């Protein structure tokens, strides 16, 4: 073989190889575009199901309120008009009906609030955290003026976010701190923050009842509670709302605690929030 | 004019329990003396425009306020509101939308049609009674509406 023949042959072989690769590539591209299509379909399906679920939980909780109002209303009317004819036992039974109806009302309201949050967009603005947290602390202190609580409030940085949502987030965390220190002689609550790379971490720390870390995975779930309502009243929606709001802002929540030694809840919020976080 | 016979509150509510509780709360404060209760939106429109079973009704007798439930069979509260506010003879009658729904869409729609007040009925009876009584006081005794 001459040198020319040799190089021609080599070129031919290269061409064949090239063709092979091209075929493989075309196949891969086809597969990829099929996968993308499937993914898009799946996303659409999921969005649809999500929407359905939202509207389901909305209408269920909405329609549940009317009969509940009737139950609590007529019980109270009955108690009011016929209280003279009731003995002590009957009075206790009535108050149980009324108390439970009220509790169910709270559950429904919280569920509604939670489902509404999913649909809500973020109104972005610069938020003065000192003002928000300060107001909540003042409000909470006014509700329980007889309690002695040592509150330490650090200077907090501004963040970008939705004012109403962040108010709610910190209200839930701080009111929890008040609630779970309720049985402490010397209650203390500390609110502060520190910065990390791209975000600010805020924390609310208390020396209250804490929680059992074994059940940590349930902590932020809807209707999940780590204390009985005899110990501490509640509906189990507060922390789910906290997590939802943090996620909507592109942040995170986590917590540390020991039983009976207090808890510390952390929320990270990005200094600047991305536009994609507007809707889920 | 016989002020005592004046129609004061028109309550449009399909839920009998809610209606009974509303009327009771108003009665307690002597605010239900001249109250008419209708059961759905279609009936309310007939009443206000003197049609159907209310043909020939003296239309000069206008309620001082309408308490309107949002979710009703046949014609809902929003439609009643829209027609009322679009008609010169009824547009000045104050309408209070009373509903279980805090749904933003409903609130926006109601205000777009010119609702005078939008109230979410509290589940808790004490709050409910107080809300209804406050509404009665405000719209019957405090508020002033143009004569025509």
Whether B106 contacts B68, CB under 8 Å: no
Predicted ipTM of the assembly: 0.71
Are A76 and B126 an interchain contact pair (Cβ–Cβ within 8 Å)? Answer: yes
pTM score, whole prediction = 0.63
**pLDDT in tens for each of the 280 residues of chain A?**
788 888 888 888 888 888 899 999 999 999 999 999 999 999 999 888 887 877 777 777 667 888 888 898 898 888 888 888 888 998 888 888 888 888 888 888 888 788 778 777 888 899 999 999 999 999 999 999 899 999 999 999 999 999 999 999 999 999 999 999 999 989 999 999 999 888 999 999 999 999 999 989 999 988 788 888 778 888 888 999 999 999 999 999 999 998 989 999 999 998 776 554 444 4
Burial B105-114 (b: 16+ CB within 10 A, else e): ebbebbeebe
Are A112 and B123 an interchain contact pair (Cβ–Cβ within 8 Å)? Answer: no
Are A69 and B24 an interchain contact pair (Cβ–Cβ within 8 Å)? Answer: no
Q: Which residue of B has its CA nearest to A115?
A: B103
Pairing, β A199-206 against β A187-195:
antiparallel
B21–chain A Cβ distance below 8 A for any pair: yes
Pairing, β A263-270 against β A199-206:
antiparallel
Are B121 and A77 an interchain contact pair (Cβ–Cβ within 8 Å)? Answer: no
Rounded to the nearest angstrom, the gap between the alpha carbon of residue B30 and the centroid of all alpha carbons in its chain is 17
Fold type of domain A125-277: Heat Shock Protein 90 (3.30.565)
Asked: is A1-119 a CATH 1.10.287 domain? The reply is yes
Domain ranges of chain A: 1-119, 125-277
Of A74, A75, A105, the CB nearest to B123: A105
For residue B99, the 8-state DSSP code is: E
Whether B123 contacts A108, CB under 8 Å: yes
Domain ranges of chain B: 9-142
3-state secondary structure A152-209: EECCCCCEEECHHHHHHHHHHHHHHHHHHCCCCCCEEEEEEEEECCCEEEEEEEECCC
Are A72 and B121 an interchain contact pair (Cβ–Cβ within 8 Å)? Answer: no
Tell which of A57, A61, A73 to mutate to test the B interface (max B CBs under 10 Å). A73
Of A74, A105, A112, the CB nearest to B102: A112
Architecture category of domain B9-142 in CATH: 3-Layer(aba) Sandwich (3.40)
Burial A5-38 (b: 16+ CB within 10 A, else e): eeeeeeeeeeeeeeeeeeeeeeeeeeeeeeeeee
């Amino acid at each position: 073989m001459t040198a020319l023949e040799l190089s021609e042959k080599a070129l031919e072989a290269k061409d064949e190889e090239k063709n092979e690769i091209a075929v493989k590539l075309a196949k891969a591209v086809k597969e990829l575009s099929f996968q993308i299509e499937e993914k898009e379909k799946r996303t659409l399906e999921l969005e649809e199901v999500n929407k359905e679920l939202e509207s389901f939980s909305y209408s269920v909780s909405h329609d549940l309120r009317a009969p509940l109002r009737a139950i609590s209303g007529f019980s109270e009317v009955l108690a009011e008009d016929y209280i003279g004819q009731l003995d002590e036992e009957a009075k206790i039974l009535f108050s149980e009906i009324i108390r439970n109806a009220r509790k169910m009302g709270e559950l429904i309201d919280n569920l509604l609030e939670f489902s509404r949050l999913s649909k809500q967009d973020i109104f972005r603005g610069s938020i003065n955290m000192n003002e928000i947290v300060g107001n909540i602390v003042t409000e909470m202190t006014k509700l329980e003026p007889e309690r002695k609580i040592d509150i330490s409030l650090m200077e907090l940085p501004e963040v970008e976010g939705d004012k109403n949502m962040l108010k709610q987030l910190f209200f839930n965390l701080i009111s929890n701190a008040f609630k779970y220190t309720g049985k402490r002689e010397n209650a203390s609550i500390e609110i502060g923050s520190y910065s990390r790379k791209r975000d600010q971490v805020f924390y609310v720390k208390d020396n209250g009842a804490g929680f059992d870390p074994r059940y940590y995975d349930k902590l932020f779930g809807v209707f999940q509670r780590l204390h009985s309502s005899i110990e501490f009243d509640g509906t189990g929606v507060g922390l789910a709302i906290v997590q939802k709001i943090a996620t909507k802002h592109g942040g995170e929540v986590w917590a540390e605690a020991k039983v009976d030694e207090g808890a510390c809840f952390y929320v990270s919020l990005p200094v600047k929030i991305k536009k994609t976080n507007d809707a889920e | 004019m016989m002020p005592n016979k004046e129609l004061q509150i028109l309550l449009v509510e399909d839920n009998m329990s809610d209606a009974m509780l509303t009327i009771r709360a108003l009665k307690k404060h002597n605010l239900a003396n001249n109250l008419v209760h209708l059961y759905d939106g279609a009936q309310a429109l007939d009443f206000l425009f003197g049609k159907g079973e209310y043909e020939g009704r003296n239309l000069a007798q206008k309620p001082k306020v309408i308490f309107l439930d949002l979710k009703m069979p046949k014609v809902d509260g929003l439609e009643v509101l829209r027609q009322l506010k679009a008609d010169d003879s009824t547009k000045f009658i104050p309408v209070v939308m009373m509903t279980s729904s805090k749904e933003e869409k409903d609130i926006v729609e109601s205000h777009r049609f010119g609702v005078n007040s939008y109230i979410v009925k509290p589940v808790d009876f004490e709050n409910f009674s107080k809300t209804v009584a406050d509404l009665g006081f405000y719209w019957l005794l405090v508020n002033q509406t143009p004569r025509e």
